[in-house]
Each structure stands twice: as C-alpha cells, then as structure tokens.
Structure 1
Amino acid sequence: MKTPFHIMIIPTLGCPSSCKYCWSSEEGSPVMNIKVVKDVVAWLSDFRYDPVTITFHGGEPLLAGSSFYRQALPLLAKGLAKNKPSFAIQTNLWRMTPELAKIFAGYNIPIGSSIDGPEDITDY
C-alpha cells in the first residue's frame, strides 16, 4: 500500500490584504530563499512516501513571484521524482499574472482560492 504524504511550503508570510482573521504580515515580508527548497528536497529524498503533494500556502504565496516558482518547481519535481510529487497552491489571486498562470499550468497545479479583502474587492 502506498502512503501519501502532504507538505506545505510557505514561500512568504507577506500578504497584500489585511484581513482581520489572518495572522499574515505585510506585503513586503521576505521571500523564502531557494536554498530552503533545496533543503526540503534533500530532507524528503530519503522518504519512502508516494505520492507526495506539496501545497504552496502563505501569507500570499504569489508574492514570491515567478522567479521563485521557475526555480522551486523544477527542483521539487526532479529532486522528488521517485516520490511522484504533485503540487497545489492556495491563494487569494490578487497577484496572479499570466506568467504565473503559465508556470502553474506547466505543472498541472490546481489553484485554491478564497475570497478575501475589503468589501469593494470581494463584491467585485
């Protein structure tokens, strides 16, 4: 029997919103260094779990930017190939761009979204 394993990667605690229920910090928070992603790959490389699902969460994970995902996704996909990784992301979509959408589509990443923010944005 295969044992599934789920991890969450939080590329930044920052968020452009200020939702009252959230602990997230301001938008300018630091972005995870790609070395941390390499460390995650090294840490998981001996795990015998498959499949592995990796969810990007936050804060607002889109604030990490396209450069982060262009580096992180291949490292995770190739480095954990034996674990059959799949990916997901949970985002408020405020910072979604065509470039990020293309990157996520290339890895078949499902996007979970919440409706957050001030009334004028939420109602839009």
Structure 2
Amino acid sequence: MKIAPIRNEKDYQNALNRLEEVFEAKKGTDEGDELEILSILIDRYENENFPIGMPDPIEAIKFRMEQLGLKQKDLAEVVGFKSRVSEILSKKRKLTLGMIRKLNSTLHIPTEVLVQDY
C-alpha cells in the first residue's frame, strides 16, 4: 500500500484504478484503510479540479417544487399571488428578501442559492 498525494491527471487515474481494485475491502483491514484514504484524496482532488457551481435559483425552486409535488398555486401561498409565482418562475420578477426567507424556511432551499443573480 503506497499512497501518495494526487497532483495531476495521471495520479488521479491511478488512484481511481486502485480504488476500483480495493472497493470491496472490509473496514479495519489494510485494504480497507487504503480505500478510505484513497476516497479522501480523490474527493479532495475532484473538489479542487472539477468544482460544481451553485444551481440557478429559479431552477432550484422548480426542482424542489417537483420533488415535493407542488404546483404554482401551492407556491403562491409562500411568495404571494399566483401571477407573481408565474413571473418569478419565468424570471421576469426578482426574488425579494422576504420571498427568499420564506422559500428557505418552507422549501428548505439554501439562501446562498436563492440570493444569486439569474
């Protein structure tokens, strides 16, 4: 078991290949320890080199509505009138601070997602 930092694409591919080899290792074994350490190194490399940006606020609202089975009329109870919901979802109206607070507390969408420009 020779573990080294992942510094480049070749190191990354080697780590992924080795991870695949030890993927079924039992916890508490040498290979299990190697699996755990490789996972941490790969995760760190991916976060640094392949960052995932924040989702669009309106797409996040639509996604959450879909997850919860909500319709526009249901969202009107959170942000106001049904026409306002339509304007928001079509990006014709910006979210206000009050709307952001209600969406955060009701739909549990992080405020850092909702406050972004769109």
Give the TM-score of the pair, scaled to structure 2: 0.25
Higher helix share: 2
Q: Which has the larger radius of gyration?
A: 2
The normalised TM-score by structure 1 is 0.24
| Structure with higher strand content | 1
